[in-house]
Chain A
Amino acid sequence: EPEVTQTPSHQVTQMGQEVILRCVPISNHLYFYWYRQILGQKVEFLVSFYNNEISEKSEIFDDQFSVERPDGSNFTLKIRSTKLEDSAMYFCASTTAPEGYTFGSGTRLTVV
């Protein structure tokens, strides 16, 4: 069964540092998403991406965040200057409508 792959599975970074979270969506999928989940809280939408541009973003997705599809396979989330409150699980998802999303297994980001 096709999978969405996320790397790394766990990243520890110092406050103020830049991090890049990587995702390889399912190859024939066209729509890509990032969500995050702070420990013990609900899954929150960050951004959707289609046709090489952002379709929609949430209030959480401020100027510190950016997404990129640098080549035909990867989809990255960059946080420019991490804060303690950025510590969370970050999930990438992809879909090709009209199916439901396929989520990756997530990257646990710990900011210290």
Chain B
Amino acid sequence: LAKTTQPISMDSYEGQEVNITCSHNNIATNDYITWYQQFPSQGPRFIIQGYKTKVTNEVASLFIPADRKSSTLSLPRVSLSDTAVYYCLVGDKTGTYKYIFGTGTRLKVLA
């Protein structure tokens, strides 16, 4: 299983763009990169998933370089409600795959 490494915490101010980088040096060919968000006492919530290059949806962008050994979650113009823990997860898409959660990145958005 690919091990991921993320910063433990980050602070940002409202309106700023936040980039959270995750390293996954031993990512396998079939692995996808998925980011989740978790608020206190709630289940993790899917944000975005990608395999390579760039993926964008209505809430975030995911940048994956050609070697796929890292990825960056970009949150444009964060607000106070984006304060949460963000998890980078790596795994294949066979369905029986289990995600292994790390400690994630605790993002605190300040007014």
Contact = CB atoms under 8 A, between A and B. Distances in A.
Interface in A55-112: 55-56, 89, 91, 93, 95-106, 108
Contacts of A44: 101
Interface of B: 32, 34, 36, 38, 41-46, 49, 87, 93-96, 98-104
Contact of B101 (A43, A96, A97, A102): A43
Nearest to B100: A45
Interface of A: 4, 30-31, 33, 35, 42-45, 48, 50, 55-56, 89, 91, 93, 95-106, 108
A42 B99 contact: no
B100 A91 contact: no
Contact of A108 (B36, B41, B45): B41
Contacts of B49: 99-100
A100 B96 contact: no
B96 A56 contact: yes
A69 B84 CA distance: 32
B96 A105 contact: no
